[in-house]
Structure 1
Amino acid sequence: MIKTENVSFRYPDGTVALNKVNLEVRDGEFLALIGANGSGKTTLLRQLIGLLKPSSGKVFLNSTEFRHFKDEEVFRRVGMVFQDPNDQLFAATVEQDVAFGAVNLGLKPEEVTRRVGEALKMVGAAELAGKALHTLSFGQKRRVAIAGVLAMETEVILLDEPTGGLDPCGASSIMHLLRKLNQWRKTTMVMATHDVDLVPLFCDRVAVMSEGWLIREETPTEVFANAGMVREAGLRLPRIAHLIEILKKEDGMDFSNIPLTIGNARREFVRLMESQPQTKPESISPPVTTGEPSDGS
């Protein structure tokens, strides 16, 4: 679907943000870009939609180099949700803002109305349709920004820290929505995040960024099995994996692998308990009655 070939990028002030990045985004996958702040995640996302042009190297969409497309042709296929929704929202009302991209696609008014209503409902913001944008909370703005991209029904959605500013329930709701779209609509998702706990739950593959370099591109299990590499990239293991790592090292527990989720950890604990030899509990002798009053001890 989208591929970069030796992409490097330098900002006008001389900051090198990307170094010879070779990344392939596969059709229908949910790909996580993880890395510390300043690792190049956002810059790479902007390359994947053409908002930034490579200083060197090439970006391809369906085997055709980006420079052969007009911007509007790319935007019909690839949408992006920015890290700060205030950079993305500008219309007077929620409904108008969500409709903006769909209107620019040249759709009929009734189709725009259908898409806007459906998108707002999907992100749990249908009741916000007539509200002014400046009255919304940050979390509500985040949902509206996502709805605007959903209304365009692009083949690919790029997301820059989509759960930032959301409470845990809101973040979980958004991630389940994105995964549902990925599975039901086959929408390709590319999410930049440093929240490593989300990655094993929702993502098929992980690309690890460090100082502008793409240093690893594997499944979550393969990436987080290399704890040294993860920490060198300025990240940590998922909490569950870190706990299991400590139990193996400090307590000698024999885990066959490092679980990344609560469900997998539970299965490993059950396996360990079932593998332990069953010991018969010692019989307890009844207390000796002396006839003396009890002191309660």
Structure 2
Amino acid sequence: MLPVIPVLSFAAATSKPTIINNGQINNNRVLIPLRVVSENLGASVEWFQAEKEVKIKNGDSTIWLAANFKRVIIVSPPTTENPDMPHREYIDLDTATQIINGTTYVPLRFVGQSLSANVLWNQQAKQATLTLGGKELVVNMEQPSVQISVKHKIMDPRLKLLSDKLNQAADVSSIKNISSYFKPYFTDKLIKSIVQNKGLNTASTYETPASSPVYINKTLATLSQSVILANGLTGEDQYAEDRTITLVFTNGVWKVDSVSKGARVIISGFSDFQPQ
């Protein structure tokens, strides 16, 4: 069910509301475009393209979000109990920060809480209203360009199963008949590539997909996943691997057709509050 958004703080709008028409509903979660929402409500936003990471400055706090991850890091000034280090708080969202058509989206509930905005959700109109400091922002949900019926969508159990099979395909040395084993999950093209390369050249530790598929049409979709591989030399930055999965609907079932991977280093955020 869609979340019931509580009133987080009261602030009456004193100016004409700003209208945004590209909100999203994914897996029954309301997602809103991060940059336009944050900047219209007084917070500064910085996007790091290589790291696929967002930095939000809101007063004395800095909020870090990374694409395809549910975890958020909030860095605030040192406390009197620990004056030599910035205070760090970790929050796990109910859905991941996601990039859709080049725009970064975050859950509506998180934006309201992190910016201390007044948040209302109109279920009938599929409309979110955020109010803060006399500013009002109205976010309408964008109608999907591709209409997919419920019975043709990729259900979460199937996504998890395909993700698990891709993990197994990273090392196929123990699988005797690769073609028959993966046939219910992968297309013949992908299976042939796995056989030729003796496995997928990706990590085998991806968890249940944290983001939703993006439908290109009724028989084609993409899914992006990420996993932390290791800490950097300082222990503050983290190396992440991304894999982009292409899925096709064939013979009444969704299968993986291709997989590509990338790498990035996620910024820690420690440098924002150095002790004086």
TM-score clears 0.5: no
How does the TM-score come out when normalised to structure 1? Answer: 0.23
Structure that is richer in helix per residue: 1
Could you state the TM-score of these two structures normalised by the residue count of structure 2?
A: 0.24
Work out which structure has the larger RCO, using CA pairs closer than 8 Å and 6 or more positions apart in sequence. Answer: 1
- In terms of fraction of residues, the more strand-rich structure is 2
